[in-house]
A = this chain, B = another copy of it.
Amino acid sequence: MNRTVFFVSESTGITAETLGHSLLSQFDTVNFEQVYMPYINTELRAQALTQRMAEAADRDGARPIVFATMLNHEIRDILKGGNCFYVELFEVFVGPLSAELGVPPSLKSGQSHAITKPSYYTKRIEAINFAMANDDGIRPDNFHRADVVLTGVSRSGKTPTCLYLAMHYGLRSANYPITEEDFERGDLPQLLYDCRHKLFALTIEPQRLQLIREERRPGSGYASLKRCQDDIKQAQKMYKRLQVPVLNTTTQSIEEISSQIIKMLKDNLDGGAASGGKTAVI
Does any Cβ of B come within 8 Å of A269's Cβ?
no
How many residues of chain A get a CB closer than 8 Å to chain B's CBs? Answer: 71
Q: Are A69 and B160 in contact (CB under 8 A)?
A: no
Residues of B within 8 A of A105 (CB): 26-27
Number of copies: 2
Contact of A160 among B107, B167, B260, B262 (CB under 8 A): B167
Distance A20 CA – B256 CA, assembled complex (angstroms): 19
Q: Contact at A106–B65, with CB atoms within 8 Å?
A: no
Residues from chain B with a CB closer than 8 A to the CB of A89 are 19, 93
Task: Check if A103 sits within 8 Å of B27, measured CB to CB.
Answer: yes
- Contact A14/B23 with A93-B87, A97-B65 known, Cβ cut-off 8 Å: no
- Contact bitstring A72-108, B, C-beta under 8 A = 1, else 0: 0000000000000101011011101110110101111
Answer whether A87 and B96 are a contact pair too, CB < 8 Å, given A18-B19, A112-B22: yes
Are A255 and B14 also in contact (CB < 8 A) when A23-B90, A160-B167, A263-B39 are?
A: yes
Beta-carbon contact of B116 and A28 below 8 Å: yes
8 Å CB contact of A113 from B111, B160, B253: B253
- On whether the beta carbons of A115 and B22 are closer than 8 Å, the reply is no
> Beyond A12-B256, A14-B255, is A30–B263 a contact (Cβ under 8 Å)?
no
Say yes or no: B260 contacts A39, CB within 8 Å.
yes
B26 touches A121 (CB 8 A): no
A38 to B259 CA separation, bound complex (whole angstroms)? 7
**Given A14-B18, A38-B263, A97-B87: A28 in contact with B106 (beta carbons within 8 A):** yes
Question: Can you give 9 A-B contacts (C-beta < 8 A)?
Answer: A18-B18, A26-B111, A30-B101, A36-B266, A85-B100, A110-B256, A121-B253, A129-B160, A132-B135
> Contact residues of A with B, CB < 8 Å?
1, 3, 11-15, 18-19, 21-30, 36, 38-39, 65, 69, 85, 87, 89-90, 92-94, 96-98, 100-101, 103, 105-108, 110-116, 121, 125, 128-129, 132, 135, 157, 159-160, 163-164, 167, 251-256, 259-260, 262-263, 266
